[in-house]
Chain A
Amino acid sequence: MDEVFKALADASRRSLLDRLHAKNGQTLNELCEGLAMTRQAVTKHLVILEEANLVTTRRQGREKLHYLNPVPIHQIGERWIRKFERGKLTALSELKRRLESEEK
């Protein structure tokens, strides 16, 4: 679990997870597109994310595709969120999302 927190404690790595959340199954080239990071930096971050099992890769022909693996994040949630709290938390997140989108 330490590895997951360490991997998440970096804004660049979180933005890579955001990109995979928006579009799953991307190549390294696709992930690098439009980013201010160098290819080497992206590769280094992906290794850390893979070691934490937050990103998993599959070969498809000659391409290596990266997928977001939400299972460890889910396990963190379950450790501290009790079953009966889940509904209230979803309602709170929804309320926050709606109020914040109205402001724009």
Chain B
Amino acid sequence: MSNSTFVYVTYIKTTPERLWSALTDRDFTRQYWLGAHCESDWKPGSSWKLSFEDGRVADSGEIVEADPPRRLAIKWRNQWSPELNAEGYSLCTFEIETVPGDNSDAVKLSVIHSIDRPESAFIKAVSGGWPRILSNLKSLLETGSVVLPKKA
């Protein structure tokens, strides 16, 4: 196998539209992204960046695919660590599916993040952050507040 990939899945009691806006609204992302936020106009070919509160750019790239509220793919490159930046672009895909439930519908969010190289340090680094971001996102959408406000 020549690439490094992880697939994270979480089920959230919300609608695909609310989840899409949680992923794409700058102020919404600020609430759960451990002290960072995303900016883009979310059209294929547009630039995308993830910035820290003080304005430093953590990661940047380009929107590859945007099919609201179903599918979003971002070409994504680290910008703060020379070692991780040297690995080049990764691809992060978000898939949103409706799951019928007993009382109300839920939404299945899959995050697939991969890079075209084995044993990637970048994938290792982001794989630690995603479970925390996804837990925050789930509690924010379900209860209105997050568990981890800032980077622990």
Residues of chain A at the chain B interface (Cβ within 8 Å): 24-25, 53, 56, 58, 67-71, 73-75, 78, 83, 86-87
B1 at the interface (CB under 8 A from A): yes
Q: State the Cβ distance, A93 to closest chain B Cβ, in Å.
A: 14
Contact of B10 with A71 in the complex, beta carbons under 8 Å: yes
Instruction: Tell me the complex Cα distance, A25–B6, Å.
Output: 7
Contact of B110 with A56 in the complex, beta carbons under 8 Å: yes
Most buried by B among A24, A58, A87: A24
Contact of B7 with A58 in the complex, beta carbons under 8 Å: yes
CB neighbours of A25 from chain B (8 A): 1, 5, 7
Most buried by A among B4, B8, B132: B8
Assess A56 versus B11: contact at CB under 8 Å? Given A78-B147, A87-B152. no
Give which listed residue, B5, B11, B110, B135, contacts A74 with CB less than 8 A: B135
